[in-house]
Amino acid sequence: MALKPEALAGALPVTYQLIEGEDRRQVEGGVIDEGLLSIYVNGESLATMMCSPLQLEALTVGFLYNEVVIESAAEIALLQLNQSRSVADVILTRDEVKLPRRMILTTGCGGGVTGQVLSESYPALESDFVAAPALITRLMRQLQGAARLYNAVRGVHTAVLGDETGVLVSAEDVGRHNAVDKVAGQALLDDIATRDRILLTSGRISSEMLGKARRMAAPIVASRTAPTSITLELAEAWNICVIGYVRQGGMRVYTHGWRLGLDG
């Protein structure tokens, strides 16, 4: 797929050799851009992460929220990125702040790191929110439409927050955890409630991912792929409906199927 580097932020041009059967040819295409972001809070180093260099303000805010450093964007007096957009300096409206241990986050499948002990972090989500299976399918189709980087060069995850009106917030990142943090941060910045909304992701639903969903008070979490065993244990305890393998033809509902109108 041809790619003009100036036409698609978050991707870089690359030339590669394409082999299709006996046919071999050179293609001008693109790959996902990956960079480093270090977050400082009140002058203290909190985390360094590999990420896509897009929506970095949202990523910073969402990460601080999901790590329970802040409760709202109003607690941030200043958020400033350096010229190379590799460092985010955050000054809070209060001097006293208890930060989690310093974290280094990669974008690998096992790279989602959290400072919280998830099983002890939250009580069960008190919500009567329900949705029709058709809405989950429709939102997943809209997630695919919002995945502009993935559709162009692959190699990136997408996350969206939605309700019956459609997608409210979307984000892409080379890391699936980062994509969810970006969604949370953009929702905070735009004053969009995450409670009783549906969180959808293109990636596996790990326990850390579900912890972010619980922090956002999202009663339904859906993915095109699978959850893990600990995810399902947490989802049962937290009253969250976990759905995997959402396709046009169906889906797998693992926990709290009553949120989709199912028995049991």
Kindly state the DSSP code that residue 100 receives in the 8-state scheme: P
Please indicate whether residue 51 is annotated as part of the active site: no
Q: How many residues does the chain have?
A: 264
Q: Is 56 exposed, middle or buried (0-12, 13-18, 19+ CB in 10 A)?
A: buried
Helix (H) / strand (E) containing 110? none
Query: Any idea what the Cα angle at residue 63 is, between residues 61 and 64, rounded to 5°?
Result: 65
233 forms bridges with which residues in the sheet?
A: none
H helix intervals, the chain? 56-66, 133-146, 148-153, 176-189, 207-215, 229-238
Set 9, 12, 36, 109: catalytic member: 109
What are the φ and ψ backbone dihedral angles of 5, each rounded to 5 degrees?
Answer: -60, -30
Catalytic residues: 109
